[in-house]
């Protein structure tokens, strides 16, 4: 019976060692999980912020495209300002391209936020992801408007190029 008690004591000792190892492993996994969750939360919040900033940038690009289109229309009434019209159209096109790039950045940031939420559904992360998606939608709308304005500016150039040249006035001395 003594041998059996020794075997039992040894097994209990081994179980205690295994339990201690499991506890230590759990603590490590738990610590790593909390760090990963914190990082994921930060990523989501930063992604949402990036989407919002990209949406603002897209809106500013849309405004630049609109101003360039207006400048092209105003300069188009004077054929001598054709270079100004062309420059305004180039500015409108550049602004539209910037708007499209910003909208793409907003979409990428929104996708990153959504991916983070997919891994860990938390109320704050869901809110951040929703804001990022909203910002991405606004950026896409502004980019589409900027492209439309750029096209309108291009139409002004086309109209100026098609207009018959004006004859210079002759003065009598």
pLDDT in tens, 99-122: 888 788 777 777 777 776 666 666
C-alpha span between 17 and 40 (Å, rounded): 34
- Cβ neighbors of 108 (< 8 A, separation 6 or more) are none
> Cα-flanking dihedrals φ and ψ of residue 165, to 5°?
-65, 145
pLDDT score for 2? 62
C-alpha span between 78 and 72 (Å, rounded): 10
C-alpha span between 137 and 55 (Å, rounded): 8
C-alpha span between 149 and 137 (Å, rounded): 18
pLDDT in tens, 131-158: 777 777 787 787 888 888 888 888 887 8
pLDDT in tens, 18-37: 888 888 888 888 888 778 77
Question: 57: which DSSP letter?
Answer: H
What tokens were used for 145? 């408007």
pTM exceeding the 0.75 threshold for the entire prediction: no
What tokens were used for 124? 């704050």
pLDDT band at 1 (very low <50, low <70, confident <90, very high): low
Does pLDDT of 173 surpass 50? no
């Amino acid at each position: 019976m003594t041998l059996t008690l020794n075997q039992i004591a040894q097994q209990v000792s081994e179980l205690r060692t295994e339990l201690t190892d499991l506890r230590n492993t759990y603590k490590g996994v738990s610590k790593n999980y909390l760090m990963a969750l914190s990082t994921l939360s930060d990523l989501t919040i930063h992604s949402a912020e990036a989407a919002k900033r990209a949406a603002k940038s897209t809106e500013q690009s849309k405004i630049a495209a609109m101003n360039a289109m207006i400048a092209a229309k105003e300069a188009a009434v004077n054929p001598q300002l054709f270079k100004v019209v062309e420059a305004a159209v180039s500015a409108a096109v550049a602004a539209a391209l910037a708007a499209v790039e910003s909208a793409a950045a907003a979409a990428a940031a929104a996708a990153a936020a959504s991916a983070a939420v997919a891994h860990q559904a938390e109320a704050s992360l869901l809110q951040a992801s929703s804001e990022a998606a909203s910002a991405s939608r606004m950026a896409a709308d502004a980019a589409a408007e900027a492209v439309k304005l750029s096209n309108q500016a291009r139409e002004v150039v086309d109209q100026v190029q098609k207009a018959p040249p004006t004859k210079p006035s002759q003065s009598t001395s």
